[in-house]
Amino acid sequence: MGGPILIQACINGALPPAAHPALPVTPARIAQDVAAVVSAGADAVHLHAKGDDGLDTLDPDTVDAAITAVRVAVPALPVSVTTGAWALPDPVARLEAISAWSVLPDVASVNWHEPGSVAIVEALFERDVGVEAGLWTMDDVRAWADSPVRDSVSRVLLELPDRLEPGQAVALADAMIAHVRKVSVDVPILLHGEGASAWPALRHALVLGLETRIGLEDTLLLPDGSPAADNAALVGAARELVDRLA
């Protein structure tokens, strides 16, 4: 694994299989990919379980199979999974599916703005699964800051949108970080972007000494703008940036 700055590999996200030829979908491919990103310098992994159609699912058997495959491939690796509402929009059905997982991840990301997020956070805590608070906007940051469970989350996941100029991405990140630090000086912050903001956000996270992530979920491109062959190439490029700052 990598160095003191945590790099989480986000290996597939909500992308369909056609988005990239190296996108891992099946449990076997996910496990293979996880082993590769760890060799490239990843310290943790975030994954989305995929159904037979290649799209995101929270189905208990499918999630259990993906996590089990990763545990066999890299037993000590911290594993995060999504609870995103796009995989199962009905809040009650989503909670039922998550509550039926039998092979549990170390942490699960919960988007604070999604309907039913409070119940999902409570259900995860009851099962000793950590929570990554997915905060996409300043309104999300304020909602997390006002939440009675804010100090119980494993980390806050500050997610910058696509189509931001580098200066805009940094400014938004700094505003979000400042508000988080007003209410908690200790909670870990993982800063990352998406699309055009992915590499500016990662670089800024490294400068600030924050946790970060990279992978095909967030970008299909290397820092120089060329296509990434796979997740390992993206993680390797991120680890090179870390080493330059060491």
pLDDT for 2 beyond 60: no
Taking only the tens place, the pLDDT of each residue in 87-122 is 999 999 999 999 999 999 999 999 999 999 999 999
Taking only the tens place, the pLDDT of each residue in 175-222 is 999 999 999 999 999 999 999 999 999 999 999 999 999 999 999 999
Domains along the chain? 7-245 (3.20.20.70)
pTM of the model: 0.96
Listed as own residue / partner, the contacts of 112-115 with beta carbons closer than 8 Å and 24 or more positions apart are: 112/136, 112/140, 112/143, 112/144, 112/147, 113/137, 113/139, 113/140, 113/143, 114/84, 114/85, 115/85, 115/91
Q: Write down the pLDDT at residue 191.
A: 98
Give residue 5's pLDDT band: very low, low, confident or very high (50, 70, 90). Answer: confident
Taking only the tens place, the pLDDT of each residue in 41-68 is 999 999 999 999 999 999 999 999 999 9
* pLDDT, mean over the chain: 96
- Main-chain phi, psi angles of 77, to 5 degrees: -75, 130
Say how far apart CA 78 and CA 192 lie, in whole Å.
18
Length of the chain: 246
Q: At what angle do helices 166-183 and 198-208 cross, to 10 degrees?
A: 50
Say how far apart CA 202 and CA 208 lie, in whole Å.
10
Burial class (CB in 10 A: 0-12, 13-18, 19+), 224: exposed
Angstrom distances, CA of residue 25 to CA of 57, 126, 155, 188, 237: 11, 29, 26, 29, 23
Residue 244 tokens, joined = 């330059």
Q: Write down the pLDDT at residue 163.
A: 87
Give the CA count within 13 Å in the CB-facing half-sphere of 39. 10
Residue 162 tokens, joined = 């696509």
